[in-house]
Amino acid sequence: MKKRDNNRLRIAIQKEGRLSEWSMDLLRNMGLQFDTYKRSLISCCTNYEMDILFLRDDDIPEYVQDGVVDLGIVGDNMVQECNAVVNRLRPLGFGFCELKIAAPESGAIRGVKDLDGLRIATTYPQMLSRFLEKAGVKAAIVPIMGSVEVTPSLDVADAVCDLVSTGSTLQTHNLVPIATVMSSEAYLVGNPACCDDGPVTVKIAQLLARLDGVLHARAAKYVMLNAPKVMTAQIQEIIAGRKSPTIVPLADPNMIAVHAVVEEGMFWEKMEQLKALGASDILVMNIEKMIA
Ligand code: PRT
Ligand code: ZN
């Protein structure tokens, strides 16, 4: 690997897999330009002092912990499985999944206590072991590399512990979830020393400011609407979010136009309340960046 230039940040993202496109989109939304030709191991940002390493997700927590890279984008499930000493800097709002224990639909295992003395196949032996210990259950963990869901039908295990997002893989294999070990999403993680006091600490802070601009923008919508002037106070009350809304008079003296930023989570609820107050011509726009 190229010798490290202390002035350049290094970030690791997944080379090929569920988090790759999301991670690259995020970096590009942060204004970073880079080439992904054949996803070579390393790509240098052309407009920022940062290099991007494309790795297997399993390797990212340790690379960050050991300072081979300063930052990484990886599922919290991986961080916890590796027990890596890293700073969880920001949850990123993608890669959502849950690590669940599941058992054959037709069997007798319906709760964690039923697993006593049985075999559980998983690619997450560390987390499963911690979970069973806490639950006071003694089961044999069968560590495997992949396709966990087929192990009960092959009589390799009695139950499985695997990541679930839609649940369709479990369903296809006639497995039902009986317990949740953890909920996960992708995180930006950082090497503790680099985040707190290293040659790239200031750069990390700058990058976090950019990231926050993108994450805040993703969590909000820009709304423009027309409404009866007599409703101004009620509309302001509903829409008052992070900042006072912009209220503009219209050619019709009885009407106003309102422009505001509305939190995504509250969006539909607020739109219904505004419509009930006579709001019309509602335009909703995605926000590219939002700097406080
Ligand atoms: O090659 P590399 O080692 O980098 O990739 P990988 O194959 O180990 O990982 P990958 O790309 O499958 O997943 C990367 C990360 O995505 C995981 O570490 C999680 O943080 C996150 N993630 C989110 C998931 C899922 N959802 C997910 N559903 N990772 C895996 N799955 C698998 C699961 O293991 C099971 O096989 O998808 C199947 C279940 O999906 P549903 O939708 O049927 O429930
Ligand atoms: Zn992996």
Ligand nearest the Cα atom of residue 20: 1
User: Does ligand 1 lie within 6 Å of residue 95's CB atom?
Assistant: yes
Q: Which one of the ligands is nearest to 14 CA?
A: 1
Q: Indicate the top mutation candidate among 57, 80, 171 to test ligand 1's pocket, ranked by most ligand atoms within 8 A of CB.
A: 57
Average pLDDT score over residue span 102-120: 97
Mean of pLDDT values over 38-52? 90
Q: Is the CB of 162 under 6 A from ligand 1?
A: yes
Mean pLDDT, the chain, rounded, equals 93
Asked if residue 230 has pLDDT above 70, the reply is yes
Atom number in ligand 1 closest to CA 167: 44
47-94 pLDDT, tens digit per residue, is 999 999 999 999 999 999 999 999 999 999 999 999 999 999 999 999
pLDDT of residue 242: 60
Give me the pLDDT at residue 289, please. Answer: 85
How far apart CA 149 and CA 121 sit, in angstroms, is 8
Counting ligand 1 atoms within 8 A of each CB, the residue from 18, 23, 79 with the most, and so the one to mutate, is: 18
What does the buried/exposed string (b/e) look like for 160-171 if buried means 16 or more CB atoms within 10 Å of the residue's CB?
bbbbbeeeebbe
Mutate to test the pocket of ligand 1, among 22, 41, 163, 176 (most ligand atoms within 8 A of CB): 163
**Model-level pTM?**
0.90
